[in-house]
Structure 1
Amino acid sequence: MSKAVEKQIEDLRETIRHHEYLYYGLDAPEISDADFDLLMRELKSLEAEHPELITPDSPTQRVGGKPKEGFAKVAHSRPMLSLDNVNSEDELRDWDRRVREAAGANADIGYVCEYKLDGLSMALHYEQSSSGSVLARGLTRGDGTIGEDVTGNVRTIRSVPLSISATRLKKAKLPGNFEVRGEVVMPIKAFFKMNEERESQGLSAAANPRNAAAGTIRTLEPNIVAQRRLDFYGYFALTPDGVNLFEEQSEALEALSDAGFRVNPHREAIKSFDKLMEYINRAEEKRNDLGYEIDGVVVKVDSAQLQRRLGYTGRAPRWAVAYKFTARAGVTQVEDVRVQVGRTGKLTPVAVLTPVQIGGTTVGRATLHNADEIERLGLLIGDYVSVERGGDVIPKIVSVVEDKDHPRGHKKFHFPTHCPVCGSDIVKTEGEVDYRCVNIDCPARLLESLLHFASRKVMNIEGLGEAVVTQLLESGRVRSIADLYHLDVETLAAEKKTDKKTSTGKDILVGELVARQIFAEIEQSKKNPLHRVLFGLGIRFVGERTAQLLAEEFGSMDALMAAPVEELERVNEVGPRVAQAIREFFDEEKNVALVEKLRKAGLTFTAEKRRKSSELEGLTFVLTGTLPNLSREDAKAKIESAGGRVSGSVSKKTNYVVAGEEAGSKLDKARDLGVKVVDEAGLLDLLTK
């Protein structure tokens, strides 16, 4: 092993960690997304050539390992307590008075104020390593005394350092072993994207980012957590046994920032009560412009010595309090109802309001969600309504106001029959509340369509991330998924045209090296099997598994496109809703035209039809533990190619549980229910019958 290669890999890791900190910790990137991706690909390539040099704290290892079957319970170093709330200036003044009385007449009281992030509490434990410290464990708050070990999921959060160098530790005055407590939040942009993805899969939308973050961190598959783009903000630095590392809270926040953690930049040390209220008022004014949700301000006594003297009540510290913002609401008139087309094709009615001030922000629009919500409200255009901006990000109409000062409207809203963006027919599946545009190339949904098409589990076109795809759309290089296959190196690396009236600059889309790599990835994607092409079309309810079943059942794109609903429903796991969605997709002329363009581009449109004589036909398997030779993905593929299906949970309908080493609770449940259990050899024997 060459020492030069080892040094090259470590230098590359440090460079990537530096840019991760700038991007995720400080929101101040120095390089483009494409250049960052290039660094990461170089590191992955070197580690693939030298797997013995892969370390757990390498930036490539943020998502690793198999999905867990549950989370272990671990006791906290000291309880993670809730804070008492105050809701007015008078209540906060009473709290301030109690602090000063308990501290004594001669005490020098100082407070540290931070925005109260609307997320979930997390404890991160770091342990000393040969080069500094590494992330050892991440725990949820749980019941405050015992949390759940979600380390695998925490590792996917980019603003959580996997390792901290000795140099950073020295600068931050942190020991090798320490604990960081903080808040995990979901940025509003990531929240919107997650809800669009859930709606495209027929799932209910999350109510707010806090619920979404809490649900995400307890997801058993780290890959899913990584896609949600959570953030972590630190606010406590403790010894491994839960003692404050610094004598001032403000000093602890600076130390965490120096160590590479994201710390809320709006923190402030304050002495007087008047300055405290000024800070709170400024925070309430800024809450709509932060990119993440806050629901108040946290006020803490700065001195750790004074914190110890003040102590705790039965459930909360006496030295800290949460000032909660008041609910944001107002009454205004609905001037019109218009329809927006989301990135998944969903048509959402939006009320156009007479502008009203709510919580320091002018609100001129509010979502109406769907036709059922309009019916529930009994809303007419011209009505006066109560609008609220609470824990939910989007302003929403709570109710229609009807009294002598607020007369009713007179015009009923009707959904359009065609997409207001592309003119395609819209569809409404029986039993559902939403209207949808199913044209995958509709300009309103094209960004999402392209990102899905290029993603790893679909066509796997590495390098086509959101930044590059956005530029391709804005520059006019791409107006359809099929246009990807008309790109060449020169087009990708060409200068982006600018309007001379508005700009004199010229931007390069990507460098020539990256352009060549993207072009090679696009060409390689033509060889992907039919089921990936089907998955890439973004047909509603057709995920990776369903696409594979359809490809194996019909054997060609043409046969699938011609299949009536009744024939589609005969496919294993394809029910009426899925069959109807497939039929609606291929009944749209613009989608058929896109498919023909992809055919001309040379994509794979045929597949080997699945044999129907296997004894595994229709049987349900559950995989648990680690198999000696087969990965879980390989075992799943073999079962499915033989006509079986793989489920994530054991029930009376399960036919076989395939158990490997360290099999968990699923094996116990299988034994309780009398389900047959086989090992890897037993599975391979079944597959050969």
Structure 2
Amino acid sequence: MAATPEQQINSLRDELRHHEHLYYVLDSPSISDAEYDAMMNRLKALEADHPALITPDSPTQRVGGKPREGFAKVAHSRPMLSLDNAYNEDELRAWDKRVCDALPASDPPSYVCELKLDGLSLALHYSAAAHGAAQLERGLTRGDGTIGEDVTTNVRTIRSVPLSIPATKLKAAHLPASFEVRGEVILPQTAFVKMNEDRVAQGLAPAVNPRNAAAGTIRTLEPNIVAQRRLDFYAYFLLRDGEPLLPLHSETLKALATIGLRVNTHWRTANTIDEVLDFIANAEPLRDTLGYEIDGVVIKVDSAAQQRRLGFTGKAPRWAIAYKFPARAATTRLDDVLFQVGRTGKVTPVAALAPIFVGGTTVSRATLHNADEIERLGVRIGDLVEVERGGDVIPKITRVVEEPNATTARHKITFPADCPRCKTPLVREEGEVDFRCINASCPARLEEELRHFASRSVMNIEGLGEVMVSQLLGHTIAEHEAEASMGQNGDAPTEAPTRKALVHSLADIYHLKKEDLLHLERIGEKTADSLLEQIENSKKQPLNRVLLGLGIRHVGERTAQALAEEFGSMDALIAASVEDLTRINDVGPKVAEAIREFFDNRKNLDLVERLRKAGLTFTAEKRVRGTRLEGLTFVLTGTLPTLTREEAKEKIEAAGGRVSGSVSKKTDYVVAGEEAGSKLDKANALGVKVLDEAALLELLG
């Protein structure tokens, strides 16, 4: 009897999944690409004839439509925290001692050592499906650690991520059908090289490094582009409801491999810190042989029970640490120094170097930070210098290499007296290391301001990226790409535009017309309409985002939020005195002076008024604070029974108290939970009163 269409479809799906696993997870394909493509085409044809039989986990459904309005924000089941770092043997042994001291002598830890992949974290959520299988439900980026972005559409294109996991594999690994997998997305070096070849062929600047390329790819709104770039995913955590699913981390790695996820094979257990150091010594030479970037080794306590006992600090688990390999370095010639003007007017010296290959990337630019750093290094134009990729990403000059028989002429580096773009005299305020251009209308500052204003964490204007900003300021795409190419491994100077600019201030973007945009390169009607819609939508962003977008010195995301909640309107903030401002917990004298200086500037007030007339949000819900804890300073340490640290902080601040990060004689109370650390010891030494959660709640009333 001939197989039914449903049977044929299921058979083809099983076979394609098997070959995807062989190719993308095990690196051992058993059929040619042509055979695989022919099989996929047969499945597509059958599903086209029988659309009712199409399922979300079918291999044909990896690439779908792009998200309608960017990526939704979703809270993580538990925070995706960063790791503390160790840079040498002494620091690693000190961490080991802290772990051992925190555990009973009768229950010493064993460790799991894994390569530290240089990519970006991702959380995959699987839920129970038909016949006991698990189906991919959602993929989230790390985001801010607490809330990630839903990039499921793009995750589905990653071939090493199974869309479904059969019940037989779950049973073999003793896992339920609903769980969360955490791991790392990377861009293999071959895919990175191919991507850059394609970009160069299109006249675009090549990407700086695989990690940045992977991060940009996973947030691309075009799943087809994500699929073409061949991202890879390595799994290393298995959770359910935010807790480890298995009692040992080593068992987790084995279970992940059993159910078909890609697990890095370079891992081992270690019973002592000496065994950990042996693993590190053997891992570092692998860096240039793996085909993907690593920047260290991650060491984790194997036992989940011990992990729970050790707990977390405010930003990292106590039961894990990253041992970072030394930064890669090379020697080259300093040919020139260029000066770039940033968003706040800060002028940064940028070293123009004879191109040199450092850690997988050709470096031709490196930051020199400021005039004091140039003096400290004693560097001159013409020197032979050592260049290091700090964190294996940002190039910097670490020292001058002595040349006994040097014949190259050396020239002193002279900081400009005037802004290199608008020629306004530069200012260096007392006590500061940076020179600044104080001209708020400086074209070089405006370019950085526009990028900041449009960024996702500020006004979130999708489409107002680097190329568009550059064109709005009068640059051609060719000029922009040439400039980007110059600065791909460091900051680049901003050259004067060759045509009339459409934008001369932040407020001008709200007066752009469709016909203005259609005159720009590579801009069609659809792109123009989309950008104008995004600009219109940005008017709904809350007051704290508007304040952040103004670019007031020292005002970051947290301070902008505090200002909006405290004053409730732009007008109230503009009228606030320095004394009014310093009453806010997140505002010190230096920040208060910067805010006052900004609003005392007539040009800045004119900008604010234009933004008001454009319809931006200028009011916010004013936080009603209590006075019960007015004037009292608290420090939080350890894990509280029912409150998260952020919840405790919010309650204290709502009652008029202040939360500090360190203990001093001025601290009134230390609130200590389980596994409280050195802050509790310092509180006891200074005689600061210590509260538990119950006492804090009683104090709050």
TM bracket (short chain): 0.5 to 0.7
Which amino acid in the other structure matches residue 138 of structure 1?
Answer: G
Aligned residue for 1:133? 134
Cα deviation, residue 87, structure 1:
0.6
Could you say what secondary structure the match of 1:317 adopts?
A: coil
Going from structure 1 to structure 2, the CA distance change for 1:41 and 1:406 (only over 3 Å counts) comes to farther
Name the CA distance, whole Å, in 1 between partners of 2:196 and 2:381: 25
Contact 1:649 1:666 in 2 (8 A): no
In the TM superposition, what are the counterparts of 1:487-498 in structure 2 within 5 Å? none
Could you say what secondary structure the match of 1:135 adopts?
A: strand
Aligned residue for 2:499? none
Aligned residue for 1:234? 235
Of 641, 649, 667, 2:530 maps to 649
Could you say what secondary structure the match of 1:100 adopts?
A: helix
Could you say what secondary structure the match of 1:651 adopts?
A: helix
Contact 1:16 1:39 in 2 (8 A): yes
Contact 2:21 2:260 in 1 (8 A): yes
Aligned residue for 2:414? none
Contact 1:618 1:645 in 2 (8 A): no
Going from structure 1 to structure 2, the CA distance change for 1:619 and 1:91 (only over 3 Å counts) comes to closer
Contact 2:235 2:263 in 1 (8 A): yes
1:193 maps onto 2:74 in alignment: no
Going from structure 1 to structure 2, the CA distance change for 1:577 and 1:165 (only over 3 Å counts) comes to closer
Going from structure 1 to structure 2, the CA distance change for 1:203 and 1:369 (only over 3 Å counts) comes to farther
Aligned residue for 1:160? 161
Cα deviation, residue 326, structure 1:
1.1
Cα deviation, residue 578, structure 1:
7.6
Going from structure 1 to structure 2, the CA distance change for 1:164 and 1:673 (only over 3 Å counts) comes to farther
Aligned residue for 1:278? 278
Name the TM-score, length of structure 1 as normaliser: 0.54
Aligned residue for 1:176? 177
Structure 1 residues 214-236: Cα deviation after superposition (integer angstroms, max 9, x where no partner): 11111122112112211111111
Cα deviation, residue 388, structure 1:
4.0
Cα deviation, residue 207, structure 1:
2.1
Aligned residue for 1:63? 63
Aligned residue for 1:108? 108
Could you say what secondary structure the match of 1:207 adopts?
A: coil
* Structure 2 unpaired stretches of 5+: 335-352, 367-378, 410-474, 482-513, 542-612, 616-701
Structure 1 residues 428-484: Cα deviation after superposition (integer angstroms, max 9, x where no partner): xxxxxxxxxxxxxxxxxxxxxxxxxxxxxxxxxxxxxxxxxxxxxxxxxxxxxxxxx
Aligned residue for 1:40? 40
Structure 1 residues 93-113: Cα deviation after superposition (integer angstroms, max 9, x where no partner): 000011111112111321001
Aligned residue for 2:313? 313
Identity of aligned residues (%): 57
Going from structure 1 to structure 2, the CA distance change for 1:147 and 1:66 (only over 3 Å counts) comes to closer
Which amino acid in the other structure matches residue 74 of structure 1?
Answer: V
Structure 1 residues 255-296: Cα deviation after superposition (integer angstroms, max 9, x where no partner): 000111001110111112211111001111101111111111
Name the CA distance, whole Å, in 1 between partners of 2:332 and 2:291: 26
Cα deviation, residue 652, structure 1:
8.4
In the TM superposition, what are the counterparts of 1:210-289 in structure 2 within 5 Å? 210-239=211-240, 241-289=241-289
Name the TM-score, length of structure 2 as normaliser: 0.53
Name the CA distance, whole Å, in 2 between partners of 1:120 and 1:91: 25
Aligned residue for 2:146? 145
Aligned residue for 1:72? 72
Cα deviation, residue 66, structure 1:
3.5
Contact 1:332 1:386 in 2 (8 A): yes
In the TM superposition, what are the counterparts of 1:344-493 in structure 2 within 5 Å? 368=364, 384-388=384-388, 401=400, 403-405=402-404, 407-408=406-407
Structure 1 residues 567-604: Cα deviation after superposition (integer angstroms, max 9, x where no partner): xxxxxxxx97689x9xxxxxxxxxxxxxxxxxxxxxxx
Structure 1 residues 506-559: Cα deviation after superposition (integer angstroms, max 9, x where no partner): xxxxxxxxxxxxxxxxxxxxxxxxxxxxxxxxxxxxxxxxxxxxxxxxxxxxxx
Going from structure 1 to structure 2, the CA distance change for 1:379 and 1:25 (only over 3 Å counts) comes to farther
Contact 1:153 1:225 in 2 (8 A): yes
Aligned residue for 1:533? none
Going from structure 1 to structure 2, the CA distance change for 1:106 and 1:186 (only over 3 Å counts) comes to same
Cα deviation, residue 384, structure 1:
4.5
In the TM superposition, what are the counterparts of 1:505-584 in structure 2 within 5 Å? none
Number of equivalent positions: 416
Name the CA distance, whole Å, in 1 between partners of 2:314 and 2:399: 43
Which amino acid in the other structure matches residue 225 of structure 1?
Answer: V
Contact 2:296 2:324 in 1 (8 A): yes
RMSD over equivalenced CA pairs, Å: 4.0
Contact 1:652 1:673 in 2 (8 A): no
Name the CA distance, whole Å, in 1 between partners of 2:533 and 2:130: 50
Going from structure 1 to structure 2, the CA distance change for 1:379 and 1:23 (only over 3 Å counts) comes to farther
Contact 1:69 1:220 in 2 (8 A): no
Contact 1:351 1:366 in 2 (8 A): yes
Name the CA distance, whole Å, in 1 between partners of 2:79 and 2:356: 48
Cα deviation, residue 653, structure 1:
12
Cα deviation, residue 667, structure 1:
12
Aligned residue for 1:507? none
Could you say what secondary structure the match of 1:275 adopts?
A: helix
Name the CA distance, whole Å, in 2 between partners of 1:7 and 1:81: 45
Contact 1:208 1:391 in 2 (8 A): no
Cα deviation, residue 619, structure 1:
9.8
Name the CA distance, whole Å, in 1 between partners of 2:234 and 2:533: 44
Cα deviation, residue 330, structure 1:
4.1
Which amino acid in the other structure matches residue 212 of structure 2?
Answer: N
Aligned residue for 1:29? 29
Cα deviation, residue 369, structure 1:
8.7
* Structure 1 unpaired stretches of 5+: 335-348, 371-376, 411-574, 582-616, 622-638, 658-664, 675-689
Cα deviation, residue 192, structure 1:
2.1
Which amino acid in the other structure matches residue 187 of structure 1?
Answer: P
Name the CA distance, whole Å, in 2 between partners of 1:326 and 1:169: 40
Going from structure 1 to structure 2, the CA distance change for 1:329 and 1:233 (only over 3 Å counts) comes to same
Aligned residue for 2:507? none
Name the CA distance, whole Å, in 1 between partners of 2:91 and 2:163: 41
Contact 1:119 1:183 in 2 (8 A): yes
Name the CA distance, whole Å, in 1 between partners of 2:200 and 2:381: 24
Aligned residue for 2:566? none
Name the CA distance, whole Å, in 2 between partners of 1:115 and 1:145: 25
Aligned residue for 1:551? none
Name the CA distance, whole Å, in 1 between partners of 2:145 and 2:365: 36
Name the CA distance, whole Å, in 1 between partners of 2:526 and 2:245: 53
Cα deviation, residue 367, structure 1:
5.8
Structure 1 residues 661-689: Cα deviation after superposition (integer angstroms, max 9, x where no partner): xxxx59989xx989xxxxxxxxxxxxxxx
Name the CA distance, whole Å, in 1 between partners of 2:401 and 2:275: 42
